[in-house]
C-alpha cells in the first residue's frame, strides 16, 4: 500500500449563513484504503464534513480532492449510508438493495443477482426480501441502506452512524464484515460513530473533533497499535481496553472543552 495522499481536505471551512460549522482551516489527508473514524460531540459538524466529501455540500472555503481531482457532483464513486437510513417506500427490501446497482452497466444481470443475494444475506434480510419497508423495523431499514450502499460498490464509503439502531450482536457481526470488506475490496472508508468501542475496533485511524465549529483535536493511528487484523478476541485484550480508555478520555475532553471557556 503506497502511502500516497488519496482524499485530501485542503484548508476547508464551512458556514451555513452565519453558522460556522467547520472552523477554518481543516486539513486532513487520508490514504487510499484507509479506514478513518470520525468521533466527536453531536452537532459538531461531522455529517457536514461527510456530505462535502459526498458532493452533497460544497466547502465555503478550501477544497476537497479525491485522487488529485477536486470533488464535484455526487457520484457512485463516493457511496453514502445516511444517518436517517431511508429507503424507498415503493420498492421492496430486495428492490431497495438492488437499486444500489441499478446504474451499473459494467455488471451482468446474473452478477447483480448474486451480489444482491450476498448482501441481503450479509445484513440478515433474506427472509424479508419481499417486504415493503413500512412493514419492517427501524433496524432493518438501516440494514437496507447499508446493503444498498455496499452493493453499489463505491470506491469511497461514507458511513454516518450506520449501526446506531442495531442490536449488539448484529452490530458486532456487521463490524467484522465491514472490516473484511474494507481489507478485501480495498475501500477507503470514513465512518462516523458515537461509540468509542466501535471506533477503536474498526479504525485504522481515529480523528477526534471538537464541539461546533468542528476542529480536529486528535488524530490517533490505531493500526500502529492494534495492527490491521481485527477479531472478536481483540476486544477482550488489554491492549484494546487501554486504547479505548485513552480515546474515551479524548472524547470527554472534546465534549467538556467549551465549559472551560
Partner 1 sequence: MPGGTLHGAPPPGAINSQQSRLRDHRVTIIKATVSAAPHAPAANAASTPRPLRRNPPRNQFFAFRGTLSKRAQILTAIGSTLFVLAVWELSTRLGLINATFLPPPSVTLETLWNMILHKNLLMHAGISTLRIWVAFALAVIMAVPIGIAMSSFRGVGAALEPIVDFIRYLPVPALVPLSIIWFGVGETTKIFLLWLGTFFQLVLLVADDMRRVPQEYVEISYTVGARPRQMLTDVAFRAMLPSLFDNLRITLGWCWTYLIIAEIVAADTGLGFVIWAARRYMNTSEVMAGVVAIGLIGLVTDQILRLVHKRLFRYL
Ligand X SMILES: Nc1ncnc2c1ncn2[C@@H]1O[C@H](COP(=O)(O)OP(=O)(O)O)[C@@H](O)[C@H]1O
Binding residues vs Mg ion (CB under 5 A): 47
The Cα 228–Cα 33 span in angstroms is 11
**122 is written with which cell numbers?**
450479509
CA dihedral over 14, 15, 19, 23, signed as positive or negative: positive
84 near ligand X, rule: CB under 6 A = no
Residues 71-90 that bind partner 1 (CB under 8 A): 73-76, 78-80, 82, 84, 86, 88-90
Contact 52, 12 (CB under 8 A): yes
Taking the least distance from each CB to partner 1, the nearer of 74 and 139 is 74
Taking the least distance from each CB to ligand X, the nearer of 19 and 232 is 19
Question: 132: which residues sit within 8 A by CB, 6+ positions away?
Answer: 89, 90, 91, 92, 93
Taking the least distance from each CB to ligand X, the nearer of 46 and 115 is 46
Phi, psi angles (nearest 5°) of residue 198: -60, -40
Question: 244: which residues sit within 8 A by CB, 6+ positions away?
Answer: 196, 197, 200
Residues 18-57 that bind ligand X (CB under 6 A): 19, 21, 40, 42-48
Taking the least distance from each CB to Mg ion, the nearer of 182 and 212 is 212
SS (H, E, C) 73-90: CCCCCEEEECCCCCCCCC
Residues 188-217 that bind ligand X (CB under 6 A): 212
213 near partner 1, rule: CB under 8 A = no
Residues 20-79 that bind partner 1 (CB under 8 A): 54-56, 73-76, 78-79
Which of the listed partners (partner 1, Mg ion, ligand X, none) does 54 bind, with a CB threshold of 5 to 8 Å by partner kind?
A: partner 1
Question: 2: which residues sit within 8 A by CB, 6+ positions away?
Answer: 32
Taking the least distance from each CB to partner 1, the nearer of 138 and 227 is 138
The Cα 24–Cα 41 span in angstroms is 18
Residues of this chain that interact with partner 1 (CB under 8 A) are 54-56, 73-76, 78-80, 82, 84, 86, 88-90, 99-104, 132-134, 145, 148-149, 152, 154
Residues of this chain that interact with ligand X (CB under 6 A) are 16, 19, 21, 40, 42-48, 212
Amino acid at each position: 500500500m503506497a502511502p500516497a495522499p488519496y482524499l485530501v481536505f485542503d484548508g476547508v471551512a464551512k458556514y451555513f449563513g452565519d453558522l460556522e460549522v467547520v472552523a477554518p482551516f481543516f486539513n486532513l489527508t487520508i490514504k487510499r484504503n484507509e479506514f478513518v473514524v470520525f468521533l466527536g460531540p453531536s452537532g459538531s459538524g461531522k455529517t457536514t464534513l461527510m456530505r462535502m466529501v459526498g458532493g452533497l455540500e460544497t466547502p465555503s472555503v478550501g477544497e476537497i480532492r479525491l485522487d488529485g481531482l477536486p470533488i464535484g457532483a455526487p457520484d457512485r464513486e463516493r457511496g453514502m449510508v445516511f444517518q436517517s437510513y431511508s429507503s424507498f417506500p415503493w420498492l421492496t427490501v430486495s428492490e431497495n438493495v438492488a437499486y444500489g446497482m441499478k446504474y451499473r452497466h459494467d455488471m451482468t444481470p446474473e452478477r447483480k443477482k448474486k451480489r444482491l443475494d450476498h448482501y441481503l444475506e450479509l445484513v440478515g434480510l433474506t427472509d424479508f426480501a419481499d417486504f415493503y419497508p413500512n412493514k419492517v423495523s427501524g433496524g432493518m431499514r438501516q440494514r437496507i441502506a447499508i446493503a444498498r450502499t455496499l452493493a453499489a460498490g463505491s470506491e469511497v464509503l461514507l458511513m454516518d452512524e450506520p449501526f446506531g439502531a442495531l442490536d449488539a450482536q448484529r452490530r458486532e457481526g456487521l463490524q467484522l464484515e465491514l472490516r473484511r470488506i474494507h481489507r478485501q475490496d480495498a475501500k477507503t472508508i470514513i465512518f462516523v460513530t458515537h461509540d468509542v468501542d466501535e471506533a477503536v475496533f474498526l479504525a485504522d485511524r481515529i480523528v477526534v473533533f471538537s464541539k461546533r465549529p468542528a476542529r480536529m483535536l486528535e488524530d490517533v493511528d490505531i493500526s500502529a497499535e492494534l495492527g490491521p487484523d481485527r477479531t472478536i478476541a481483540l476486544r477482550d485484550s488489554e491492549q484494546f481496553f487501554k486504547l479505548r480508555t485513552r480515546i474515551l478520555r479524548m472524547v470527554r475532553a472534546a465534549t467538556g472543552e467549551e465549559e472551560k471557556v
